[in-house]
Chains A and B, each alone.
Chain A
């Protein structure tokens, strides 16, 4: 085959058309949510969250919303805040997420199971 192609000046040789595969679209899926930058970080940061309480309801709420917005902007910069929230909410129905959620809740529970 090599000889032939040399004789034919390489005309017969099939040219391999390689298209560069398109960069995979970044998705907000459960793996991203469970990664270090995801909910674990949210939980860590939440410890610094301070509220002023009575009489400052609206400023507290705006601080809370800003907290979530900045976290989501780090995690998934391309989507708007409300869109990203909807996506996260949707992910919450996945089995993997539900297990993780149960774990986080159980961590917070008092260890003695007596009521």
Chain B
């Protein structure tokens, strides 16, 4: 830059760049090899001091900017690290220098916070530049030709890692943390949203990161640390969690676990599917498109009452009155003021999908499977305890649990076909103990507390992650019920039993669903998903037949007897002494009681707020997957037919939405799988609606408004709900 308009104090720049120059360099005399300067170690330490004492203390970022401009990372640090050969690990000076390089790399790649309260003028000046520079760092680190940089970095920390946890010094712990933070930073750096990265995206994409991590043995490191956490490592848990989060956020699990051949097929299928969708859109347009040129100039009159006329131009109005009305509507210009949705696309965003290439998919899948087998329980158990001790950032914790639980479920499902063939070895059916650490009572307590806290403090993203976590736990429990292992079944039954009678959880789920306002689509998706599965699973539980309950009681009794026979002291339980007949009557009573309980519970979702949330969700129908559409369909079906409060859906905007979904313009694709069930449902609703209007003319007015429950009840049944019992 020219000296006059420099953004950095020239003196600072002079000092820093002289240090960078003194560090070393390559020249023709040494065949282009990099040669260290005489006092390289001291230079590195000086640079570190500059970063610390000038940038950090004065909160300026000037030195970081100078270092970015002088290409310290690509030109010097990486060269120095690359020149540390594997067989020279014992060389003390070289390992010291390597460590000093790492100590510089960590602050340089540290995520730049954009907390508006702490930002100074300097931050605003430097942050955009530094963000791009960090992308460059990442690119050169993971794609470095001469050596495996990340691997070298790990080597820096190997000696301290070899020491027993009790014997490590603070410095040793610090080095291990430094290394993990370095890896975290590399995993975290990504092009900021709404900035176009000028270089090759593929070089810094998630796929490239995963490939590099696999090639440079970072995955091994992560597995080692996470599987022995609590024994060999203690304070490193949160960093590991962060690394995992930035590796897997947004990755589609279904795609991850498809094998390669199926993946190829599914790609072809996807292309076909997308082409079909596009064709459907075009067809939709063409049925409504004008059949003559655009200056044909047709004009229609719409005769209104009181001898009024409305004119509509274009042919649409001539052929079809409803299209004419749509055209009349479309020409209006007025827009009511509206607030924008709160979307978050920062580094913590996990709703944006990420695509991986074949290679990276394979590597990541291998890693995930190994992690589930060895590292999941220790790591998450350890972190849960840490969170219980002191509340800290829990977003990625819950998100990771939900992600890994889903991964585990998908993995099991994909394994099944081969299992059936070799049913002889059914002994080998593995239990759910691999993920047991997140299914215990303590976890539920933590999760409930987190949901309460985040809901109260309006941190919607955290709440969304917690809801995802809860959903996945429910789904896992449901899978466990079908497990062939008795222990798994018993655990699952116990969990369901507890959830079923926990009123506070019911209230919370219903409340969250009811109060959706403008938290963005990701949140909407997780809260509708949670309430869908919650309702569904509890309904199944309430319907659980008498048979099953008798069987489970019999099981318990058998166990108790066995325990008694073994001479153990068992507290006298009523179950042991009952006969089969008593079992049946008792089971019948419980199942009856449960049905009633469920009905009461499901009624909480009848409020207008819940319906509105699902209506907002359904309004995205053209972008929803079929599973999401199914979710909305089941909810409305439940409201209208299972609980017989279709009145809640009789509002003009809801009816208009349903009508549009089927009849267009821009409706659902008639060839799609969900079209049929929606068509059926909408038809039923419309039929009910017109019949109701004829039955109760008051509904014509009430259709404009949200109804409170008593009004809705009157409209539905024709009499007021009896709330006060007369004596």
Contact = CB atoms under 8 A, between A and B. Distances in A.
Contacts of A43: 697, 700-701
Given A58-B659, A66-B325, A80 B304 contact: no
B325 A39 contact: no
Interface string B290-329: 0000000000000010000010000000000110010011
B704 A105 contact: no
A46 interface: yes
A66 to B, nearest CB: 6
Interface of B: 304, 310, 321-322, 325, 328-330, 332-336, 651-653, 655-656, 659, 662-663, 682-683, 686-687, 689-691, 693-694, 696-698, 700-706, 711, 714, 719-720
Interface of A: 39, 42-43, 46-47, 49, 51, 53-54, 57-58, 60-62, 64-66, 68-70, 73-74, 77-83, 85-89, 92-93, 97, 101, 104-105, 107-109, 115
A95 to B, nearest CB: 13
- Name the prevailing secondary structure of the A interface residues: helix
Contacts of A53: 687, 690-691
- Name the prevailing secondary structure of the B interface residues: helix
Given A58-B683, A86-B336, A65 B714 contact: no
A98 B553 CA distance: 54
30 contacts: A46-B693, A46-B697, A46-B700, A51-B693, A51-B694, A57-B683, A57-B686, A58-B686, A61-B686, A62-B659, A65-B656, A66-B325, A68-B652, A68-B704, A70-B325, A77-B332, A79-B336, A80-B329, A80-B334, A82-B656, A83-B335, A83-B336, A86-B336, A88-B704, A89-B706, A101-B705, A101-B711, A104-B701, A107-B698, A115-B720
Nearest to B687: A57
Contacts of A61: 655, 659, 686, 689-690
- Name the residue in B304, B310, B700 with the highest tally of chain A Cβ atoms < 10 Å from its Cβ: B700
Contacts of B325: 66, 69-70
Contacts of A68: 652, 703-704
A69 B651 contact: no
Nearest to B696: A108
Contacts of A105: 698, 702, 711, 714
A69 B332 contact: no
A74 B328 CA distance: 13
A73 B304 CA distance: 11
A62 B702 contact: no
Contacts of B689: 61, 64
A26 B655 CA distance: 27
Contacts, number: 116
A49 B693 contact: yes
Task: Enumerate the 6 nearest inter-chain pairs by beta-carbon distance, A residue then B residue, closest first.
Answer: A92-B705, A46-B700, A57-B686, A108-B698, A78-B334, A51-B690
A83 B655 contact: no
Contact of B652 (A54, A85, A93, A104): A85
Given A58-B662, A80-B332, A85-B652, A42 B706 contact: no
B704 A85 contact: yes
Contacts of A87: 336
Nearest to A91: B705
A69 B698 contact: no
A108 B697 contact: yes
B290 to A, nearest CB: 21
A60 B704 contact: no
Nearest to B658: A61
A97 B705 CA distance: 10
Nearest to B715: A105
B369 to A, nearest CB: 49
Contacts of A73: 310, 328
Given A58-B683, A78-B332, A83-B336, A101 B701 contact: yes
Contact of A62 (B333, B651, B663, B682): B663
Contacts of A51: 690, 693-694
Contacts of A82: 653, 656
A56 B268 CA distance: 40
B613 to A, nearest CB: 15
A64 B654 CA distance: 13
A17 B702 CA distance: 50
Contacts of A57: 682-683, 686-687, 690
A58 B720 CA distance: 31
